[in-house]
Amino acid sequence: MKIGVIGYGARIRGVIGEVQKLSPDCQVAAVVDVNPEKRQKIEQENAEVRTFETVEDMLNGLKLDGIMIGTRCSQHTPMALKALPTGLPLFLEKPVATNMKDVRRLKEGYEASGNRNVVVSFPLRVTSLVQIVKEIVDSGKIGTVEHVQAVNNVPYGSVYYQNWYRDESETGGLFLQKATHDFDYINYVLGTRPDTVCAMMSKQIFKGTKPAGLKCVDCDENRTCPESTAFRTDGLKEAWPFCCYAEDTGNEDSGSALIRYESGMHVSYSQNFFARNKAAARGARFLGYKGTIDFDFYTGLVKVFMHHSTRVETYEFSGDEGHFGGDTVLARNFIDLMQGQAESVSTLDDGLLSALLCLKAKESAISGTFQQIDWE
């Protein structure tokens, strides 16, 4: 099977690696990338891969079995709108859109195309942890979920302040970068739709008056700053080169949202980007009248606490696979779509709802208002 790749970034290369581990017959046949040096390097490393400057040139020049989009975030919608009309299976990185105009354009283009063979990169929903949580919730063991408390304390938060992610015009803010995953798995487990959100954002740490564009290697405080990458030998000096205390450092460094669902129950969610090491946490508590499910991706533990007895059930998962094993599941699903053997387990409908919720949360935080989650 021949795959065309639009935007040959690090993240999509990781997913391609998962695809090829599962099915060596899947080959990258073409790459569209705006960087001529990258195109030249690709051609030198693999003579069988053709490179193109535009999506149109690739689609006219080759017969493909699937398309994968791994551009920077702001280009996800424009590239998806070019790929959807082909009807080919599409793997689309999140967030599917970075602004309200694009999320509307993408929804309209998606509906007009009739192409439902889209896998959105939401690996958390298909992890073993979330699958067992979904199974327990659906069984009724804890009763109907009436409250969710979710958290994401990101131990690698510097990535959002020291490389290209610091540009908010590219990221759309950190609800779209991180919460989009968490909102999606919560929506998936609950099996119901959000209708209202209110949110707050803070920028308390990663701000300052250092010159715009300053790099750690050029800073006179690079030997004392705990965020300095100037002397790293693990590749971060090149990958995360910028000063996170410069005046052009974008993105909030913490955010919280309250989301009300159709039944009237609500979710509280909070994310933080300056927690480090063992302070890392990512997971949630789903509370029903009969019991509570508690899980954390970093520990690999799922616990079920029954409310009317002393019974506690514990499930333990291990493994260091990408996104806690979710990347492998999505890669398999994309292969199956190309072979006509499955339906998407992470649809563009899911991607659009999560993006809308993130954009409304950001709008709420900026305006200090409650926001309705609807397409009107």
On the 0-12 / 13-18 / 19+ scale of CB atoms within 10 A, 319 is exposed
pTM: predicted TM-score of the whole model, two decimal places:
0.96
Question: How confident is the model over 306-323, as pLDDT tens digits?
Answer: 999 999 999 999 766 668
125-318+355-372 falls under which CATH superfamily?
Dihydrodipicolinate Reductase; domain 2 (3.30.360.10)
Cα–Cα dist 237/231, whole Å: 7
Q: Is the Cβ–Cβ distance between 296 and 284 less than 8 Å?
A: no
**pLDDT for res 43:** 87
- Boundaries of every domain in the chain: 2-123+328-344, 125-318+355-372
Joined tokens for residue 253? 């460094």
At what angle are helices 76-83 and 100-113 packed, to 10 degrees?
10
Query: What is the CATH T-level fold of the domain 2-123+328-344, as seen in this structure?
Result: Rossmann fold (3.40.50)
What pLDDT is recorded for position 197? 98
Give residue 322's pLDDT.
Answer: 67
pLDDT for 213: 96
Average pLDDT score over residue span 334-346:
97
